[in-house]
Amino acid sequence: MNSDGVGEHFDGVAPDYDRWKAKAHHYYSALKASLAEVVPAGSRVLEVGCATGDILASLDPAEGVGIDISPAMIELASLKHPGLRFLVHDLMKGPIDERFDYVVAADVAEHVPDLEVCMRAMAGMLTDRGVLVLVTANPAWGPVLHLAELLHMKMPEGDHEWRSRTDIVTAAIGARLRERSFTRSLLVPRDLFGVRGLDSARWAYGIRQRFGLIQRAVFDAAPGAHAPTPGSSG
Ligand SMILES: C[S@@+](CC[C@H](N)C(=O)[O-])C[C@H]1O[C@@H](n2cnc3c(N)ncnc32)[C@H](O)[C@@H]1O
């Protein structure tokens, strides 16, 4: 997998992006709620891979910045959310020169060719007490998601690779981040009457932790991670 075609792919998806999200509104509501559990309203927030900016806006930041490799996504985001700031930036090229209390990345990790490089870039945009929240799809759902894509029931993902917990934690260790929590939620990503109780039932907690579609990993910046290591050139 390489990131050469990623911007072009999402430029092509951009005009229909919000329509795809509306189709998967149950999933997106759960995704936003999962992020809002960690990121308090009124924070200074960066969203990487922000697409049309709705997730960032839903977090109600005091200062919100979104970056994305796709110029078409950034153009739409800027039109939709004039109170937030959006920049075209490829995460694989490193951090932007700003620091945030919260960096969030929703459904982006599967599109980057090197997860550790991506994690280092995100770690480099955290304040010393900053928090990174990474949300990805559980790879156990890979075949279902693939089928849904073939049946045009979900957005075409382009080149991607679902990330396991081990992939994420290993990359985070390489980026000198400290794991705070890893949880899974959402067993029923559609509004199916009678089955949704699985997403809140206490008895189903263990099943959700194993098979929930939404994986949320929360990391703290390691103290002193921004200081140059002895003998390095910075
Ligand atoms: C599946 S979309 C998710 C968008 C948004 N976070 C959401 O959940 O609605 C992935 C986004 O990540 C962006 N992206 C992929 N690779 C990137 C990179 N290397 N740097 C910045 N953005 C990237 C894509 O352009 C796309 O908008």
- Per DSSP, helices labelled H in the chain are 6-23, 25-36, 54-58, 71-80, 115-123, 142-150, 165-174, 205-211
> What is the mean predicted confidence (pLDDT) over 157-173?
92
Confidence (pLDDT) at 234 = 33
Q: Is the CB of 3 under 6 A from ligand 1?
A: yes
Report how far residue 139's alpha carbon sits from residue 133's, in angstroms, rounded to the nearest whole number.
Answer: 18
Overall number of domains in the chain: 1
Confidence (pLDDT) at 233 = 39
CATH no. for residue 162?
3.40.50.150
Confidence (pLDDT) at 223 = 73
pLDDT digits (tens, 9 = 90+) for 128-154: 999 999 999 999 998 988 898 888 888
226 domain-assigned: no
47 domain-assigned: yes
227 domain-assigned: no
CA atoms within 13 A on the CB side of 6: 22
Minimum CA distance residue for ligand 1 atom 17: 69
Give backbone dihedrals phi and psi of 129, rounded to 5 degrees, phi first. -110, 20
170 CB-near residues (< 8 Å, 6+ apart) = 116
Q: Which domain holds residue 183?
A: 6-221
20: its two tokens: 């795809």
175 domain-assigned: yes
31 domain-assigned: yes
Residue 54 has a CB neighbour count (10 Å cut-off) of 18
| One-character DSSP codes across 23-49 | HTHHHHHHHHHHHHTTS-TT-EEEEES
Confidence (pLDDT) at 188 = 82
pLDDT digits (tens, 9 = 90+) for 224-234: 666 554 444 33
Model confidence band, residue 3 (pLDDT cutoffs 50, 70, 90):
low
1 domain-assigned: no
pTM over 0.85: yes
Strands 44-48 and 100-106 turn out to be parallel
Q: Is the CB of 136 under 6 A from ligand 1?
A: no
> What is the mean predicted confidence (pLDDT) over 196-222?
90
> What is the mean predicted confidence (pLDDT) over 83-106?
97
171 domain-assigned: yes
68: its two tokens: 């994305």
Give yes or no for residue 178 having a pLDDT over 60: yes
Q: Is the CB of 68 under 6 A from ligand 1?
A: yes
Q: Which amino acid is at 179?
A: E
Q: Is the CB of 28 under 6 A from ligand 1?
A: no
Question: Which range has highest mean pLDDT (99-113, 179-193, 203-217)?
Answer: 99-113
Strands 44-48 and 214-221 turn out to be unpaired
228 domain-assigned: no
> What is the mean predicted confidence (pLDDT) over 100-114?
96
> What is the mean predicted confidence (pLDDT) over 47-53?
98
Length of the chain: 234
